[in-house]
Amino acid sequence: GQQLNQSPQSMFIQEGEDVSMNCTSSSIFNTWLWYKQDPGEGPVLLIALYKAGELTSNGRLTAQFGITRKDSFLNISASIPSDVGIYFCAANYGQNFVFGPGTRLSVLP
Amino acid sequence: KAGVTQTPRYLIKTRGQQVTLSCSPISGHRSVSWYQQTPGQGLQFLFEYFSETQRNKGNFPGRFSGRQFSNSRSEMNVSTLELGDSALYLCASSLAQGTYEQYFGPGTRLTVT
């Protein structure tokens, strides 16, 4: 079935550093989304991408829909402590979603 | 605008019991999807409801069922609970079926003992 792979699984960075994470698959998708989940809460939608090659920003976050439609990346610039959490990519096939396993981000002061 | 609400937030049940979880979507949103989140399997799609009809279903046994009411509120039921059903159950709402921008509630943490 459809499967998404996220890397890295976890990362520790210093406050102020830039962060890059990606999501890959062997399957083609029509939509890519990025979510952030804080402990004890549901995921929060960060960015949605609908076209191959699309580059979209939301504040310090930038995400791109890969040209091959099999991948996407998320960049966070100038990280701050509240960026801590788990970042999930999700992609649609048909009318269902599949989620990646997540990248756990820790920000050291 | 109020977000997605889920009740209860926490629940403890014993094996063999059944449980019903509730979800109220964002006002104006007509599609509600349910997900199960566990450390081992991650986020897995259960089903989607739109206009009181189940539109899509994930790969879960028939013990998992749901329904949607005319006001778009949705309930999820799990019968004959098993230990492996312990998970965070998340509800997400969106404007319409097949709209990919979903907004999640805080989840219901179900523990089966």
Q: Cα separation of A100 and A90, whole Å?
A: 6
How many CA atoms, within 13 angstroms, populate the side-chain half-sphere of residue A12?
A: 2
Identify the CA nearest to A60 among candidates A25, A34, A98: A34
Contacts of A102 in chain B (CB under 8 A): 42
d(CA B98, CA A87): 23
Residues of B (33-52) whose Cβ lies below 8 Å from A:
33, 35, 42-45, 48
**Residue A40: per-residue pLDDT:** 83
Distance, in angstroms, between B82 CA and closest chain A CA? 22
Provide the 10 A C-beta neighbour count for residue A108. 11
B28 burial (CB, 10 Å; 0-12 / 13-18 / 19+) is exposed
pLDDT mean by block of 10 residues, chain A; 109 residues: 89 96 94 93 93 95 96 97 96 81 94
Which letter does DSSP use for residue A53 in this model? Answer: T
Structure confidence by residue, pLDDT tens digits, B45-91: 999 999 999 988 888 999 999 999 999 999 999 999 999 999 999 99
Count of Cβ atoms closer than 10 Å to residue B55 Cβ: 16
Q: How much is the CA Rg of chain A, to the nearest whole Å?
A: 13
Beta-carbon separation of A33 and B107 below 8 A: no
Is the CB of A45 less than 8 angstroms away from the CB of B102? yes
